[in-house]
Chains A and B, each alone.
Chain A
């Protein structure tokens, strides 16, 4: 174990000397400062509810599957005027779950309510059959009018869809000239879970406040996803691979390796320590980035999500799969460039293969059989790095989002068989690393 720390210390010294660790830490500081510079301010409840209820007409839905994604944006032709917004009182006689919420009185028309029912049901059907071609859709006769109970139900479901999970819709009061009055009430238990409830400003107020479409909790999760998946999981891993790819080839240089091999250190442990040295490098970087951003986001948003800290482990996991390739290619070629390029190449191929495999029913529909087989083979044997983004998103969403937003985000993510995904990725890294160890053990230097 002592030898491990000696080699680890040497690897860190080497990376400090090349200023690469410093650059990564500097980039991390930029991300942390960016997080510290964000501020959120709650909207006035009346303003927020007025804005959300004026946008009931707009419906959006997104679902990703590998490289393909399904996006829907519908206008269901519903219009309503807001007569008043006020806190719910006991006299309103509303159910308990909205007793501490807000009452919103709407005035609309029967035709708009019929349109709402039609549009809402059509939207749900579209979601259900998103994989089908238009010509495969069945022709269904659509009614033009609906009973008031259907109006109530459609309005309740629409409001609960992406705005307020706890909603009460009162009976429709039909007035003169087609006019309908409806009293609704929503529970506002957690302000942070309500979309559009916050204004966001960036860079310590330099970029002016703007209302965000999502809820604060979703904004935090999105920020965590960008930091863990894009900043750490892509840029960080790319730079770390660039840095760590030199560890093994520089050790294998003529005149350097002799000095190390002449010591009482076995070749296989030596290579494994070097590998762990690379992992420690990403651990230092990941801990600094994620830890720093966790503190910054916690201070600015009040979300101290411990799951976000777990993304350091996920980051290391992704890096460990790719660094195994870099180490083995480094042993084989003794070239930093080759080790870096091949590991990045494996990353690119595995991501493409995963994406293509996931959306094979759509993207590979008319491809020859051998292409499908090739994609399946590549998907099976290569590490599934992109699944780790899904893992991060799941971890963050589970910890932070309300059930409704969580369900919505989960629907956007591809379905992953974790046992297969992680199992094959670990197996790939183990086999590749074992190959590198064997090569290193056998060779004359």
Chain B
């Protein structure tokens, strides 16, 4: 069965209810989502929002109550849909009796990679994630960060086209996180599609093309990262010299809100054109303009805003 021919990942009307009747839990409300080839998509949400459930449905680890999903045009229920998929689960547990290289070889073999390719790729990936010296060591001696990096390597060992990463930087130190970011950027350059679940919003912001926000099983916001973080009517201005109190008072007359910190002004205007009036006013008072830019929100701000809206909406 084939669905969603144009996109790498397709989710259509997928919902999941655990249990039934009064005690049933709706982990995921009917959700639609399309992720294009070569895109890095970040899924955000609080704990228990349904992020992992959605990923597991995509990988056929959890069966949906309604709807269907597909990967690279093949229904997720199809075993072969997973031949081009790499996955790093949250709370993964690797076979500790294996060495790092042995584990990589095991998972690559399960994915059907030829022996010679597995060997070469294992070595390359272990080096890429900074575990080149640990290849022959048993996993039981690894720290959490090492296991996380190894997890990323195993997800890539069979050169998958679509990669699902659930909290890939969990337990990894800042240097390691930067390395993982680099790996993700590299994968993007290779045209891989990445589905990223993460709590670390700054990272998601840095690497993801598009972001979805899941709240209590509902996909409440979804769009390009730049779109979501854009803040309508917020401008940042740098002046020379510092505006006096009378000027600030005059600016306040023209805008909705103004915050001044030395030579930095942050203004919230009602209409885009109003910024021209602010610039004219400053110039007429002999205050030069050194910089003017549209202000952006951080992804964290957007996320909190969305969650707050939803919580308030409910209450």
Contact = CB atoms under 8 A, between A and B. Distances in A.
Interface of A: 2-3, 6-7, 10, 13-14, 16-18, 253-266, 442, 444-445
B87 A262 contact: yes
B82 A262 contact: yes
Contacts of A264: 79-83, 110-112
A263 B93 contact: no
B56 interface: yes
Contacts of A260: 110
A255 B91 contact: yes
B314 interface: no
B61 A255 contact: no
Interface in B60-115: 60-63, 79-83, 85-87, 89, 91-98, 102, 106-107, 109-112
Contacts of B107: 259, 263
Given A258-B56, A261-B60, A445-B61, A3 B110 contact: yes
B169 interface: no
Interface in B13-29: 18
Given A13-B97, A445-B62, A259 B92 contact: yes
B154 interface: yes
B109 A2 contact: yes
Contacts of A2: 109, 112
* Chain B interface bracket (under 10, 10 to 19, 20 to 34, 35 or more): 20 to 34
Given A258-B87, A259-B89, A263-B110, A14 B97 contact: yes
Contacts of A10: 95, 106
Contact of B62 (A254, A265, A266, A444): A444
Nearest to A14: B97
Contacts of A257: 61
Contact of B85 (A16, A256, A262, A442): A262
Contact of B106 (A6, A18, A253): A6
Contacts of B80: 264
Contacts of A261: 59-61
Contacts of B154: 259
Contact of A262 (B59, B94, B102, B109): B59
Given A10-B106, A256-B93, A264-B111, 14 more contacts: A7-B110, A13-B97, A14-B95, A253-B93, A256-B94, A258-B92, A259-B87, A259-B89, A259-B94, A262-B87, A263-B110, A264-B82, A264-B83, A444-B61
B48 to A, nearest CB: 16
A258 B82 contact: no
A252 to B, nearest CB: 11
Contacts of B18: 444
A13 B102 CA distance: 11
A17 B96 CA distance: 9
Interface in B123-177: 154, 164
Contacts of A265: 79, 110
A18 B140 CA distance: 13
29 contacts: A3-B110, A6-B109, A6-B110, A10-B95, A13-B102, A14-B95, A16-B97, A254-B93, A255-B91, A255-B93, A256-B94, A256-B95, A257-B61, A258-B59, A259-B87, A259-B107, A261-B61, A262-B59, A262-B61, A262-B87, A262-B89, A263-B82, A264-B79, A264-B80, A264-B82, A265-B79, A442-B63, A444-B61, A444-B62
Contacts of B82: 262-264
Q: Which 8 A-B pairs have the closest CB atoms?
A: A17-B97, A255-B93, A262-B87, A264-B83, A258-B89, A263-B110, A444-B62, A6-B109
B111 A263 contact: yes
Nearest to B106: A10
A255 B95 CA distance: 10
B110 A444 contact: no
Contacts of A13: 95, 97-98, 102
Nearest to B59: A262
Interface in B255-285: none
Nearest to B80: A264
Contacts of B96: 17
A266 B60 CA distance: 10
B18 to A, nearest CB: 7
A260 B154 CA distance: 11
Contacts of B97: 13-14, 16-18
B61 A258 contact: yes
Contacts of B56: 258, 444-445
Nearest to B93: A255
Nearest to A257: B61
Contacts of A266: 79
A13 B139 CA distance: 14
Q: Find the residue from A260, A261, A262, A266 having the highest chain B CB count within 10 A.
A: A262
Contacts of B164: 262
Given A14-B95, A264-B79, A255 B110 contact: no
Nearest to B85: A262
Contacts of A444: 18, 56, 61-63
A239 to B, nearest CB: 19
A220 B300 CA distance: 79
Contacts of A18: 97
A3 B113 CA distance: 11
B15 to A, nearest CB: 13
B74 to A, nearest CB: 10
A260 B92 CA distance: 11
A14 B98 CA distance: 8
B89 A255 contact: yes
Nearest to A260: B110
A18 B92 CA distance: 21
